[in-house]
Each structure stands twice: as structure tokens, then as C-alpha cells.
Copies of this chain bind each other. A is one copy, B any other.
């Protein structure tokens, strides 16, 4: 399929690229509206799907909602149990990879990728602050 480079698609990707907050579709929608006031939420969802299909962004599942990430290099995520925000953890490739490779070879499945996610309470929530929700 021949893809068009629309204003909407460009802006959605641009906004997602400029944040590290792993936002939801709705958060992105609110931001994009500042520039294209009559954009629809459906368009945001459609473009996020396109960008994902093209491998430009990642979709992170949050149980009920999806979050999106324009950072596609190897890294992990930490999710705060209190505010729900997602933070990046650098990919400790030297330490983990050989061990995971060992497991993936021996587990009996053809593993194409894996994902580690950490959970706990983020710094602001530990301090009792109200975190700005990125959703």
C-alpha cells in the first residue's frame, strides 16, 4: 500500500518522538489538537497503527489501555503502580542477554523476542507528590 505523508501523521509521530512519557492515544490526541483542532481520535488511532506497522513506534500494553513509544531501540520499562506512568530503563545488554539467550534456547519454543517489565513506585509517588498523569 502506497502511504501518504499527511500533516496528521507527521504531527502524531513528531509529538510522540518528543516525549519520553509513553503516552496513551488520548494524550497524543489532546496534544495534536493544539495544532489541528478538528482532528479526530479515530485518526490518531489509525495513524498510530500505521506507524506501528511500519516499525516506527512501539505499542506498550497497559492492561486496559495502550501506550506508545517512539523509542524503538532496546530498552526496558518501569511502570509505577500508583500513578501508572511508564519510565525507561536502559537495556543492560551485556548482563542480561546471554542469560536470556540461554533460556530462550532451552525453553522449547521458537522465541523471536522478549520483554522485561519492572513494577514498583516511582520517585514522585514515593515522595507523596501528585504526578502528572500521562494518559
Contact = CB atoms under 8 A, between A and B. Distances in A.
Contacts of A63: 59, 61, 66
B96 A99 contact: yes
Contact of A118 (B66, B89, B107): B107
Interface of A: 59, 61-64, 66, 76, 78, 81, 87, 89-90, 92, 95-96, 99-100, 102-104, 106-123, 126
Given A96-B99, A103-B96, A109 B113 contact: no
A111 B71 CA distance: 22
Given A63-B61, A116-B115, A89 B103 contact: yes
Contacts of A109: 78, 87, 89, 118, 120, 122-123
